[in-house]
Structure 1
Amino acid sequence: MNIFVVEDDDALFAALKKGLEAWSFRVTRPDDFEGVMRSFLEQQPQLVIMDVTLPKFDGFHWCREIRAVSKVPIVFLSSRDHPMDMVMALSMGADDFIQKPFHTDVLYAKIQAILRRTYAYGEEQVNILEWNGALIDLNRGVIRNAEKEVDLTKNEFFILITLVKSNNVIISRYDLIRKLWEDEQFVNDNTLTANITRLRQKLETIDLADAIVTKKGLGYMAITL
């Protein structure tokens, strides 16, 4: 079971990692503190331990971002002792707030209780794709960045997912039309062109219009900007 620890104090992280691994948890950490969401989506942890005071954005910001896409349990660890910090954390969807310094046995007991409560009826998976800094919600058919969420039609969403999952491989117009027909979305060549145009217009509102490239005579490709 993977616990994702968002803590910038190296000594405290090392102590947490040692203790959690002794309890048979796997412990991961963000690659950097500006890319917490990217690391979270890559790791898909079963629990998050979050500090409040972090570089760039605080823990409340990242709690809000994670809650937008996942119900994974979040436990705050903080040296702050003002009641409003606890109120803010819990109101943003955190499952617990533990003040530093803390006893490791208390932390372990709280983690075990939260995991039992959360996963008693089966584990939920994060159904999100990260692409060029945006998040594609596979359940809701939307794409969002930090500022805006964009709704896509069924055809637009199908085209986007097909291209993004192709990993920078060109998908021909014929293959896109065939895949849409297989999904009972009956489109022709002109309809495909219209859908691609609308998709690019919507992606432009989150600065991703250039991430769908036309390869003349070959088809389309989603790229990493």
Structure 2
Amino acid sequence: MYNIMIVEDNLQLQNEIGILLTRNGFKVIKTIEFDKISQLVKDKMPHLILLDINLPYQDGFKLCTEIRSFSAIPIIFITSRDTNVDELMSMTLGGDDFVTKPYNAQILIARINALLKRAYPNENAGEFISYNGVKLNILSSIVEYENKEVELTKNELKILHYLMIHKGKIVSRMDIMEYLWDSAMFVNDNTLTVNITRLRTKFQEIGMGDFIRTKRGQGYII
């Protein structure tokens, strides 16, 4: 699991980005100690930093320069400053990407994944996720178990991926539907039930029929 640090002094936006990242399988590092960012980077060693430009104590440009003095960690600037000069400055000082607010959630996730894949080529950048012998290939939408495999639909893939990144935890039906809605898929309660049933049927086909369990009145858990 990749660790992503959010350096953003708007706490509401910081929390929104944190929720988005968590829902997409990332571990989030947040802070309000904006005078200690460089030391926090050294201590936590995140895989990627989302960095605002307008910050207390020192702006994101200076902070990027400081981080670049000791680390090549990928940095994406996320800012409301959208001039060509700002974008050029961010690239010149060592930033890897530049995203303006308001951002599209799925485009931001795609940019993060693309940058992680380039920065950590031997770690598949989220191409696979595994648990209890079950391997989900996110790019091909295929589930494998004991040399057997089955192909998933788009909705089935999203649902299973969400359950697997929250493995060992109960996930409510509402959480799953909100996650799919964020991805521009319309999923109502009945549609979710149908997709869960189909997923269970496909797991039975590969010999893993009890992979998704129902917690009555609470949701699902794997």
Band of TM-score, shorter chain: 0.5 to 0.7
* 1:63 has 2:64 as partner: yes
Aligned pair count reads: 123
Q: Can you give the 5+ residue segments of structure 2 that lack an aligned partner in the other structure?
A: 125-222
- Please give the alpha-carbon distance, in whole angstroms, between the structure 1 residues aligned to 2:47 and 2:63: 16
List aligned pairs for 1:176-191, cutoff 5 A: none
Name the residue aligned to 2:53.
Answer: 52
Deviation at 1:100, TM superposition (A): 0.4
Asked if 2 retains the 8 angstrom alpha-carbon contact of 1:30 and 1:40, the reply is no
If you compute each CA radius of gyration, which structure gives the higher value, 1 or 2? 1
RMSD: 1.4
- Please give the alpha-carbon distance, in whole angstroms, between the structure 2 residues aligned to 1:6 and 1:51: 6
Asked if 1 retains the 8 angstrom alpha-carbon contact of 2:49 and 2:76, the reply is yes
Aligned residue for 2:110, secondary structure, equals: helix
Name the residue aligned to 1:25.
Answer: 26
The amino acid of 1:45's aligned partner reads: P
Asked if 2 retains the 8 angstrom alpha-carbon contact of 1:75 and 1:97, the reply is yes
Asked if 2 retains the 8 angstrom alpha-carbon contact of 1:31 and 1:39, the reply is no
Aligned residue for 1:5, secondary structure, equals: strand
Name the residue aligned to 1:144.
Answer: none
Q: Can you give the 5+ residue segments of structure 1 that lack an aligned partner in the other structure?
A: 124-225
Deviation at 1:31, TM superposition (A): 4.8
- Please give the alpha-carbon distance, in whole angstroms, between the structure 2 residues aligned to 1:36 and 1:116: 25
- TM-score, structure 2 length as denominator? 0.54
Aligned residue for 1:48, secondary structure, equals: strand
The amino acid of 1:76's aligned partner reads: F
Name the residue aligned to 1:81.
Answer: 82
- Please give the alpha-carbon distance, in whole angstroms, between the structure 2 residues aligned to 1:31 and 1:38: 13
Name the residue aligned to 1:180.
Answer: none
- Please give the alpha-carbon distance, in whole angstroms, between the structure 1 residues aligned to 2:122 and 2:107: 24
Deviation at 1:29, TM superposition (A): 1.8
The alpha-carbon distance between structure 1 residues 31 and 39, as it changes in their structure 2 partners (threshold 3 A), is: farther
Structure 1 ranges of 4+ moved more than 4 A: none
Deviation at 1:38, TM superposition (A): 1.2
Name the residue aligned to 2:117.
Answer: 116
- Please give the alpha-carbon distance, in whole angstroms, between the structure 2 residues aligned to 1:103 and 1:58: 24
Asked if 2 retains the 8 angstrom alpha-carbon contact of 1:7 and 1:50, the reply is yes
